[in-house]
Amino acid sequence: MTERPGGSGTTGASGGSGGGRPLRRWLKAVIVFLLIAIPAGYLMISAMQSRDGGEEKAEAAKAKGLSAGYPSRVQRRIYDVPIPQHSRKVASYETNSWKVSSLYVQFVTSRDGLDGFLAKLGTRRSALEKDAVTITREQAKKVGWQVGAAGHDWSGMVIKQKDPQPKLRITVRNDNPAHPKVYVVSTITP
């Protein structure tokens, strides 16, 4: 009897403690791994969703194109685009990125409206260069403009101002001199 408790005690103690320690070490290692891996996984998934969300928003805005109506007063002030009152067929589109922000605006106005618009920008109609299309093809493509199309009477100018003031590319279609159609791309580089 003395052997049996001593023998089983020794076997049980070494078997129990020897089998328990590796299990605890393994369990601790798994818990530490999970405490590191789970938050890291969430961060990675969140970053991918955030990036995809930004790309989706840009694509949605691009697909939407010009929106009918006047841009907000804040946009007009920031981008220095004083659209004349009583203009028709007003539409706008804004793009923003870390490097550059642009406001695309089109409107049909009167001869006096065009003169007032240019006067507020510190210039006049005589400064418009005949047959000049100052809006680039890439800019026009973003909003579906056909500026520079053959068979139309075009004129344009670029107004450069000191940063952070916007740079304005203005192109005018003068097919109907009483009601010119004005295209403006105002760009801000922060």
| Cα separation, 74 vs 72, whole angstroms | 5
Q: Is 117 buried (19+), middle (13-18) or exposed (0-12) by CB count in 10 A?
A: buried
pLDDT (0 to 100) of residue 97: 86
- DSSP class of residue 84 equals P
Mean pLDDT estimate for the chain: 83
Model pTM score:
0.67
pLDDT (0 to 100) of residue 14: 45
Name the percent of the chain lying above pLDDT 70: 81
pLDDT (0 to 100) of residue 10: 46
pLDDT tens digits for 101-145? 999 999 999 999 999 999 999 999 999 999 999 999 999 999 999
| Cα separation, 83 vs 122, whole angstroms | 14
Specify the residue for token string 């642009």. 102
Question: What's the mean pLDDT in 13-17?
Answer: 47
| Cα separation, 113 vs 125, whole angstroms | 11
String of b and e for 18-28 (b: at least 16 CB within 10 Å)?
A: eeeeeeeeeee
